[in-house]
Amino acid sequence: MSKDKDFEALCTRGAVYGLGLEECRSVDEMMGRTPREVELAVIGAMWSEHCSYKTSRKWLSRLPGGGEEVVCGPGENAGVVSIGGGYGVAFKIESHNHPSVIEPYQGAATGVGGILRDVFTMGARPIALLNSLWFGGGGDEKTSSRMSGVVRGIGGYGNSIGVPTVAGETGFHDAYRDNIVMNAMAVGLVKLEELKLSQAGGVGNVVVYVGGSTGRDGVKGAVMASAGFEDGDEFERTTVQVADPFCGKRLLEACMEVVKEEGLVAMQDMGAAGLTSSSVEMSDKGGVGMELWLDCVPLREGDMQPHEIMLSESQERMLLVVEPDSLLRVCEIFRRHDLEAVEVGCVREGGDLRLLWEGEEVGCLPLSPLASLSPLYDRERKERPSVDSGYEGGSGGRSVEEVLKGLLGGIDLCSRREVWEQYDRFVGGRLLSEEGGDAGVLDIRECGKGLAVSLDSKPRYGAVDARSGGRAVVCEVWRNLVSVGSRPLALTDNLNAGNPEDPYVMHDFVETIEGMREASLVLGLSFVSGNVSLYNETEGRSIPPTPVVGGVGILEDVTKRVSHGGACEGWVVMSVGVRGSHLGASLYAHYCSGERGWGKVGRPPYGAESDILRERVYGEGVRRLIEGGVIGSCHDVGDGGMLVALVEMLLASGRGAELDVGEEDYGDHGFWFGEDGGRYVVMGADEGLLREGLEGEGLAYEVLGIVKGRELVLKFGAKGISLEELQFCVEGGLEQEVGWHEGF
């Protein structure tokens, strides 16, 4: 009887830390006694969705992770790929969706700070930031102010710490009205011999705490990010951390010095669940025990309890394992950067994490069971009943030109200038690419190469068919990297989804992964790092599956890169790839039907695996022709189809074009606006060479016309649209559509 009562009490206490009934049973089994408060807190955090990936772990392993150039795969602070010359690129993506809803500025800023630390904790100097943002459909103040806060927060951190934000995307849809998506990716450059891992080791080595002091901010942040929002949750401000980019900058510079120190065994950022996850992960990976002296941790508030210290997510902190001989030198480096470095524990034999307060044990957790008993769910999945939207197509009588102008000025395609102008793109002096291009291109002068980076999502497709959406997003990143002339190297992903306890959501989640798996296998790319953000739901409304995928590509010769701009008068304009026809779930379909709701206008492309194979063939061919100098300007065909890609190229070049398509083509809206995959618009000086090259690669193409003047003419004799008019459509859309303007 009393045993039952004890268990009941455990469940009540466990619930405070997000532990469910089954999980409390595991706690009982693991501890064999009544757990103390701090122990429950540590277990709750480690077994939260955020830290344990208990829902997704089973499925994440489906994503390919290895590869010739992969130095570090998933499981480290960031993934690392070799780019030759003794250098590597470390990169990872992270979400800060929940905090950015509650406190947009701080949520976004700390998201950027956190992902930067993941990269520089490995000894890599961050050289680029990217972000993917999804907000509500616009028109309401909530969306405007959130967007303003998030954009300012990203700039506030990145600009100050001095890492350029070089690419990204900002999308709007009602599906994100209550749960926004804020994903940030960081890319760092590392001399491979200076690469640092997070594996603790060496009994007797010292555990050093570095950085800002520990406060109550972010306590239970990992638990918060593992649940949906209910009414009133927006006021849970104490779960959001506060950013200090100046401290982050000092930490960055100090860490860059410290990684050169021989006696530094391991280093890890205190991210989600702070001291808890860093100490547990470092010792578990190294197969050693650890002792932490909590009374030595620098505190912002004197009366903090052990469980609060273990759970705090105060920013700009690192945990280091250092050989005793190096301790003084390491501490001196941090002190020079005006950072506190304190000895807070040691590496021990055995497999326990011992927590002490003034020499007295306040908690002791067995590390191996903490990992092995970590919950693993195979949640119920159920396929959504297929809805035949009955989409018939048709433009509602609009001409091609009318549709084009409507699309360009619409919320999905209009210029994001007002967003990205708030990000410093130039600091570091590496950016080579033009704004608005397919991928950011960075000068890696250390080894004479170029690095292309891109970040994308395709929830419009995923909302209809999760698997197609998963395939499409990987293919989009591939095309973006190819379009600048780079060879894609590897990927990182952030899977944003709703409440996984909803079988439909869970089904979509798995389908998304399967789609991404298929595409990455065919394209020969692996995922070297990643993150999952579940429970993006409010009062039962989940966001659609929103996988955000980032990629890096290498340019062996940076002078051979191209952009979507730079076309010259007289150049030939060609479309490469199958003839466009797929209008289901396209921007065209949404625009012409007036239906904003995703999933209501037919099925997306990438319905078959063969679509991916074509993607590979065309991507490789186009890249070779760029490398060979035959293609002078290139843009992939994505949202809005071929004509939109073409116009974006003309605007970037400041030139018009005279196309000469047949009457039948002119009237075929699938030809202009279809979103079939594996396609590019290319321009070049020498039509003969282009034809020869494309035929040599066995790629289908169509000559559309030539670059000419300052008007776009679609067929012989048709009325042209001036560049100015096209530009006018693209600019100003954000203000009109989102109600976002100066002052916000």
Decide whether 565 or 641 has the Cβ nearer to another protein: 565
- Does residue number 66 form part of the binding site for another protein (CB under 8 A)? no
Rounded Cα–Cα distance for residues 117 and 94 (Å): 11
- The correct pick among 162, 369, 607, 667 for binding another protein (CB under 8 A) is 162
How many degrees, rounded to 5, is the angle at CA 585 between CA 583 and CA 589? 60
DSSP 225-288: TTS-B-TTGGG-GGGS----HHHHHHHHHHHHHHTT-TTEEEEEE--TTHHHHHHHHHHHHHT-
The residue range among 37-45, 85-93, 243-251, 706-714 that interacts with another protein, by the rule CB under 8 A, is 243-251
Distance CA 721, CA 657 (A): 10
> Is 161 among the residues that bind another protein (CB under 8 A)?
yes
Interface pick for another protein out of 174, 234, 343, 443 (rule CB under 8 A): 443
711-713 vs 657-659, strand pairing mode: parallel
Pairing of strands 87-95, 181-191: antiparallel
Q: How far is CA 558 from CA 443, 459, 653, in A?
A: 7, 33, 20
Scanning 240-248, 301-309, 398-406, 680-688 for contacts with another protein by CB under 8 A, the matching segment is 240-248
C-beta of 420 vs 673, nearer to another protein: 420
| Residue 360 CB partners (closer than 8 Å, separation 6+) | none
- Given the rule CB under 8 A, which of 148-156, 220-228, 285-293, 464-472 is the region that contacts another protein? 148-156
- Could you tell me the smallest distance in angstroms from the CB atom of residue 489 to another protein? 21
Shortest Å distance, C-beta 188 to another protein: 15
Cβ proximity to another protein: between 594 and 743 the closer is: 743
Contact 249, 160 (CB under 8 A): yes
Sole binder of another protein in the list 34, 213, 238, 422 (CB under 8 A): 422
Q: Give the nearest distance from C-beta 160 to another protein in angstroms.
A: 4
In the complex with another protein, which residue's Cβ is closer, 24 or 252?
252
Q: What is the distance between the alpha carbons of residues 662 and 181, in angstroms, rounded to a whole number? A: 43
* Residue 421 is a binding residue for another protein (CB under 8 A): yes
Find the shortest distance in angstroms from Cβ 567 to another protein.
14
Within 10 Å of residue 39's Cβ, how many Cβ atoms?
24
Q: Is 654 in the site for another protein (CB under 8 A)?
A: no
Q: Determine phi and psi for 559, rounding to 5 degrees.
A: -75, -10
Report DSSP state, residue 560: G
Tokens of 250: 């000092």
Of 50, 98, 173, 590, catalytic: 50
User: Which residues in the 555-594 window bind another protein by CB under 8 A?
Assistant: 558-559
* Binding span for another protein by CB under 8 A among 21-29, 138-146, 155-163, 385-393: 155-163
**Based on CB atoms, which residue is closest to another protein, 373 or 427?**
427
Q: State the binding string over 316-345 for another protein (x if CB under 8 A, else -).
A: ---------------------xx-------
**Is there binding between residue 314 and another protein (CB under 8 A)?**
no
Q: Which stretch binds another protein (CB under 8 A): 152-160, 324-332, 548-556, 637-645?
A: 152-160
Catalytic, 96? Answer: yes
Catalytic residue among 96, 173, 564, 635: 96
What count of Cα atoms within 13 Å lies in the side-chain half-sphere of residue 413? 27
Among 229, 423, 672, 673, binds another protein (CB under 8 A): 423
Maximum Cα–Cα distance for the chain, whole Å?
91
Nearer to another protein, 442 or 721 (CB): 442
- Minimum CB distance to another protein smaller for 337 or for 460: 337
Q: List Cβ neighbours of 209 (8 Å cut-off, separation of 6 or more).
A: 275, 296, 297, 298, 317, 318, 319, 320, 340, 341, 342, 343, 344
What per-residue string of b and e applies to 473-482 under the rule 16 or more CB within 10 Å gives b? bbbbbbbbbb
**On the CB side of 374, how many CA atoms lie within 13 Å of its CA?**
25
Q: Which of 427, 447, 689, 700 touches another protein (CB under 8 A)?
A: 427
Q: How far is it, in rounded angstroms, from Cα 228 to Cα 224?
A: 8
Q: Per rule CB under 8 A, is residue 160 in the interface with another protein?
A: yes
Q: How far is the CB of 154 from another protein (least distance, A)?
A: 10
Distance CA 199, CA 571 (A): 55
- Judged by beta carbon, residue 204 or residue 654, the one nearer another protein is 654
Burial class from Cβ neighbours inside 10 Å (0-12, 13-18, 19+) for residue 610 reads exposed
CB of 719 to another protein, least distance (A): 33
If the CB atoms of residues 255 and 282 are measured against another protein, the closer one turns out to be 255
- Minimum CB separation of residue 434 from another protein in Å reads 8
446 binding another protein? (CB under 8 A): no
CB-based contact 349:203 (threshold 8 Å): yes
Place of tokens 């606006």: 673
Residue 426 or 716 with smaller CB distance to another protein = 426
Residues 6+ apart with CB under 8 A from 429: 443
Q: How many residues in the shown chain lie near another protein by CB under 8 A?
A: 32
Cβ atoms < 10 Å from Cβ of 26: 19
In the bound state with another protein, the residue whose beta carbon lies nearer, of 428 and 607, is 428
* Rounded alpha-carbon distances, angstroms, from residue 727 to 1, 723, 739: 76, 6, 19
Integer Cα distance of 413 and 731 in angstroms: 10
Stretch that binds another protein, among 129-137, 426-434, 494-502, 574-582 (CB under 8 A): 426-434
We find the least distance from the C-beta atom of residue 338 to another protein, in angstroms, to be 6
Q: Which of 180, 272, 432, 642 binds another protein (CB under 8 A)?
A: 432
Query: Please, what's the b/e burial string for 260-286 (b: 16 or more CB within 10 A of its CB; e: otherwise)?
Result: eeebbbbbbbbbbbbbbbbbbbbbbbb
CA nearest neighbour of 184 among 200, 203, 198, 170: 170
Q: Please choose, out of 80-88, 158-166, 302-310, 372-380, the segment that lies near another protein by the rule CB under 8 A.
A: 158-166
Paired tokens of 414: 């209009």
Distances (CA, A) of 527 to 72, 95, 341, 465, 474: 10, 16, 34, 22, 10
Phi first, then psi, for residue 352 (nearest 5°) are -110, 150
Q: Is 193 near another protein (CB under 8 A)?
A: no
> Which listed residue (424, 493, 697, 711) binds another protein by CB under 8 A?
424
- State in angstroms the smallest separation of the CB of 569 from another protein: 18
Residue 451 Cβ vs another protein, minimum distance, rounded to whole Å: 14
Q: Which of 428, 629, 720, 732 binds another protein (CB under 8 A)?
A: 428
Rg of the Cα trace of the chain?
26
**Tokens coding 544:** 């659609």
Counting contacts by CB under 8 A, is residue 431 touching another protein? Answer: yes
Question: Do the Cβ atoms of 127 and 162 come closer than 8 Å?
Answer: no
Residues 245-304 touching another protein, rule: CB under 8 A, are 245-247, 249-250
Task: Select from 73, 99, 155, 577 the one that contacts another protein (CB under 8 A).
Answer: 155
Binding mask 705-744 toward another protein (x if CB under 8 A, else -) reads -------------------------------------xx-
Minimum CB separation from another protein for residue 740, in Å?
11
Asked whether position 242 contacts another protein by CB under 8 A, the answer is: no
159: contact with another protein by CB under 8 A = yes
Q: Compare residues 160 and 312 and give the one whose CB is closer to another protein.
A: 160
Beta bridge partners of 197: none
Question: Residues in the chain, how many?
Answer: 744
Q: Residues in the site for another protein, rule: CB under 8 A?
A: 152, 155-156, 159-162, 244-247, 249-250, 337-338, 420-429, 431-432, 443, 558-559, 742-743
Residues assigned a catalytic role: 50, 96
